[in-house]
Amino acid sequence: MADELEHKFEVEILEREGRQKLPDDVKEELKSSGMMDEKGKLKLKGVSPKMLKRMKQEYVECPVLKDQIHFIQCFVCPNFQSRVMGKVLCKGDKL
């Protein structure tokens, strides 16, 4: 299909129990881009509090960083294209 977003990877979104801690460097990045306030509360435009709560328990096996990363880290990554039916469409560019 021509209207499909250009992506290299379809990454499965996985879930784990309990809250995960975001790495400090990711927190700093979120704060500097205005997606997190000084208290560490996430502010993602167009994301409901219920969805945010769910996102905090999700992670992905990042094909670029070759590591398990927090879904929120994935969501704010420049490679993030879209989230479709439990998968992330990833551009796959080097970071």
Domain for residue 80, yes or no? Answer: yes
Helix, strand, coil shares, percent, the chain, to 5: 20, 30, 50
What is the pLDDT at residue 3?
56
Task: Work out the burial of residue 34: count CB atoms within 10 Å of its CB; fewer than 13 is exposed, 13-18 middle, 19 or more buried.
Answer: exposed
pLDDT of residue 18: 80
Q: Is residue 3 part of a domain?
A: no
Six token digits for residue 1: 């299909």
Residue type, position 48, single letter? S
pLDDT digits (tens, 9 = 90+) for 10-58: 999 999 988 778 889 989 989 998 999 988 888 888 889 899 889 999 9
β 67-70/9-15 pair status: unpaired
Measured distance CA(51)–CA(95) in Å, rounded: 26
Q: Which domain holds residue 83?
A: 9-90
The structure's pTM equals 0.85
Q: How many domains does the chain have?
A: 1
* Within-domain flag for 2: no
